Chain A
Amino acid sequence: MIRLDGVTKTYGGFGLDVDVELGNEITAVIGPSGSGKSTLLEIISGFETPDSGSVFLNDQPLDGVSPEQRNIGMVFQRPTLFPHLSVRENIEYGAAITDDEIRDLCKLLEIDGLLEADRSPETLSGGEKRRVSVARAIVTEPDALLLDEPTTGLDEPIRRRLKYELRRVLADLDIPCIYVTHDQNEASVVADSVVVMRDGTVLQQGSYEEMLESPRNEFVADFVGIENLIRGEIRETESGRTVVDTGVAWVEPEQTVLDDGNVSKSDVCIGIVPESVTITENTRGDGGRRTQTQPHRSDGTSINSIDCTVERVISERGSKTIFLDCGLSETFKAVVNSSVTVNEGDDVAVEFDGSDVVVV
C-alpha cells in the first residue's frame, strides 16, 4: 500500500497538494496535462522531494530514502532501454535472474523471442520496447510499480493490445501499481480504481463505475466519459414528479436530484453518457415521436427525450458518433450502433432512460 500524507510540492507557479491512499491493486491516475500526475510519480519514486508531508510504502515512511533504496519499479513514458546493452542485459540489469525465470517472464509478456542473439533495443518495435521495459521493472520484484503513460506514442492497434496485456500482467503482481494515463478508456480497461487529478489536487478516487454513477463534479464527469453535461433547474411537474428543466426538455433522473436534503438547490448539472442514448426518427410534425414509456406534458415539453438536428456523423468501427444540435449551449454527442441510419440535417429525437442520467 502507498500512502501520501499531506504531500505538497510547489515550483514555478504549480502546486501539488495530495492526501491519497493506494492499495494493492492497479490504480489509474488520470487528468489533463499539468494536473500533477507525473509529479506525483516523481515524489513516490523519490526523484522529487516534497515540500511537506510524507510518502509511506507498506506503512514505512520513505522520507530521506533514495530512489534506489525504495524498491519501487518504474516504467517511463519513453521506454529508456539502455541502448548499449542487449535486450537480455537490459532485463537482467536490476537483478540477477536465472535463465528459466527470465524465460517465464518474457513468455508472460510475449517477448521471449527477443532474448536470442543479443538483440539490441534499437531493433525493437515500439510495443516490444514497452514490454521489455515492463519486464525490466518487474524483475526486481518491486514493492510497488509506477507506470508513466506506458502506451504513449504507440500505434492504436498496438496500444489496444498492450493495455489488455498490461492489465493481465499487473493484476497478478499483487502490489500497488500506479498507472498514469490521460486516456479514460485505457484507465477503465487497465485499472481497478481511478484517481482523477486537476491542478495538483485529487478530485475524486474510486472505481471507474463509481465515477460513472456519481461523479463529484463536471470535470470528473467529463473526464470519465460523461460528455453530455447539461445545466438545468429543478422543477416539479403537475403530477408531482421532480424533474430537471433544461430549457429544451425535462429530464427525470432515476437518481434523486435533491441529495442531502438540500431542497433550496435549484440549479443542477446532469450528465448523459453518449453511448446510453438512442436516436429515433422525428416523425412528429411539430417535434419528436414519443414512446409510450416516456410521456410528455400537454404543453409539449418532452421528458427524457430531446428533439435535435444532426450536425455531423462520424462512422467508426462498429459505431457512429453523431453530433446533434439540440438547442443547448453545447453540441450533444451520441454514440450509436453503425446500423442506425442518420444523415446530416436529419431531424431526430434523442431518448434516454432515467437510470442513465447522472446528477453531477
Chain B
Amino acid sequence: MTRMHETKSNRTGFNSVFGGDYTVFGLLGAILAVYLLYPFVTFFAGAQGNGISVADFTRPEIISAARYSLTTAPISTAVATAFGVPLAYFLSRSEFRGKLLVDSLVILPLVLPPVVGGVMLLTGFGSFTPVGQVANSLGLTLTDSYIGIIFAQTFVASPFVVITSRAGFDSVEEYERASRSLGKGPVETFFRVSLPLTSGHILAGVALTFARSIGEFGATMMTAYNPHTMPTQIWVTFISRGVYATLPIVAVLVTFGLAVVVGIRYSGKSIGVKE
C-alpha cells in the first residue's frame, strides 16, 4: 500500500512538470502571450490621456478610409473565393507536371513582404505597362484607384482561402469516392458532398482572407496609396499627427480582427470531418 502510494506520488510530481498540468509549457507560453498583449494595453492606455475624443472617430478622412476599406475588402474576398476555391479543389484532386510550382506560387504571397508583391503588381498593372495602357484606353485605372486596392488585397490575401479550402478538400476525398460509387457524377458529388463537408474550412478561409484584406498595407501602399484605406490612413495620421491620433482607425481594425478570430474559433468546432 505504501509502495503504491509512493509510486503514485512520484508520478504526480513528474507529471506536474512534464505532462500532468503542463506547468513548464504554460510558463513559456505565458511569456509570449504577455508579449502579444502588452502593446495593446500600452496603446489603448496611452491613448486615453492624449485628448482623443468621440469626434475624432467621425473625421472625414476616417470615414472615407473606412468606406474604402469596407467596400474593397469584401470584393477582394469574393474574387479570392470565386477563383481560389476552384483552384484549391483542382490542386487537391489533380496530378500534373508543375504542380509543385503552382503549390509554391499559392503560398508565396504569404511569405513575401507585401511591399514586394506591390512592386511586382506595379510592373504588371502600372499605368505605363501594356495591361495598364489597355485598361486606360478603356477608361479604367489599375493603380492608385479603387481597382488598385482590390488588386493588392487579392494578391496578398487570396492564399488564405486557397490553403484552408484545400485542406478541407483533402480531408473529404474518401466521401467523394463513396458518392461516386453510389452513382453520382463529379459535379453532383461536389455540390452534395464536398462543398457541404468543407464549408467550415472554406468559411474560415474567407474570414481570414477578409481580415487580411482589410488590414493590407504594404502592397496597397505601392499600387494604390490613394485613395487611402484604413491601414494607409493610419500611416498618414501617424506621420502627420502622432501615434495616438491613429486610435479611431486602430480601434475599428482591432474590433474587426477580434470578430474574425472569435468567429473562426467558434466555427472551428464544425471544421473537419469526424467519423
Contact = CB atoms under 8 A, between A and B. Distances in A.
Chain A's interface: helix, strand, loop or mixed, by majority? loop
B180 interface: yes
Given A74-B177, A76-B178, A83-B273, A95 B183 contact: yes
Contact of A67 (B175, B177, B196, B275): B177
A59 B175 CA distance: 29
B250 interface: no
Q: Which of A71, A73, A82 has the most CB of B within 10 A?
A: A82
Interface string A65-92: 0111101111010111111100000000
B5 interface: no
B274 A122 contact: yes
B171 to A, nearest CB: 12
B182 interface: yes
B252 to A, nearest CB: 36
A137 B182 contact: yes
A69 B197 CA distance: 24
B174 interface: yes
Nearest to A121: B275
B174 A94 contact: no
A136 interface: yes
A137 B183 CA distance: 10
B175 A66 contact: no
B185 interface: yes
Given A78-B275, A79-B275, A122-B274, A136 B182 contact: yes
A84 B197 contact: yes
B274 A80 contact: no
B177 A47 contact: yes
Contacts of A76: 174, 177-178
B1 to A, nearest CB: 31
B181 interface: yes
Contacts of A137: 181-182
Chain B's interface: helix, strand, loop or mixed, by majority? helix
B92 interface: no
A71 to B, nearest CB: 7
Contacts of B133: none
A81 B182 CA distance: 12
Interface in B182-204: 182-185, 193, 196-197
A151 B275 CA distance: 15
A93 interface: yes
B179 interface: yes
Interface string B106-129: 000000000000000000000000
A76 B172 CA distance: 13
Q: Which of A67, A81, A122 has the most CB of B within 10 A?
A: A67
A176 to B, nearest CB: 15
A193 interface: no
Contacts of A246: none
A80 B175 CA distance: 6
Contact of B182 (A78, A83, A84, A94): A94
Given A66-B185, A68-B185, A82 B197 contact: yes
Contacts of A79: 275
A116 B183 CA distance: 26
B17 to A, nearest CB: 36
A82 B185 contact: no
Given A76-B178, A80-B178, A94-B183, 8 more contacts: A67-B181, A68-B185, A72-B181, A80-B177, A83-B197, A83-B273, A84-B197, A140-B183
Which 8 A-B pairs have CB atoms at the shortest separation, nearest pair first?
A: A94-B182, A74-B181, A80-B178, A67-B180, A84-B196, A68-B180, A68-B183, A80-B174
23 contacts: A47-B180, A66-B185, A67-B177, A68-B181, A69-B183, A71-B183, A72-B181, A73-B181, A74-B178, A74-B181, A76-B174, A76-B178, A79-B275, A80-B174, A80-B177, A82-B197, A83-B273, A83-B274, A83-B275, A93-B182, A94-B184, A95-B183, A137-B181
Interface of A: 45, 47, 66-69, 71-74, 76, 78-84, 93-95, 122, 129, 133, 136-137, 140
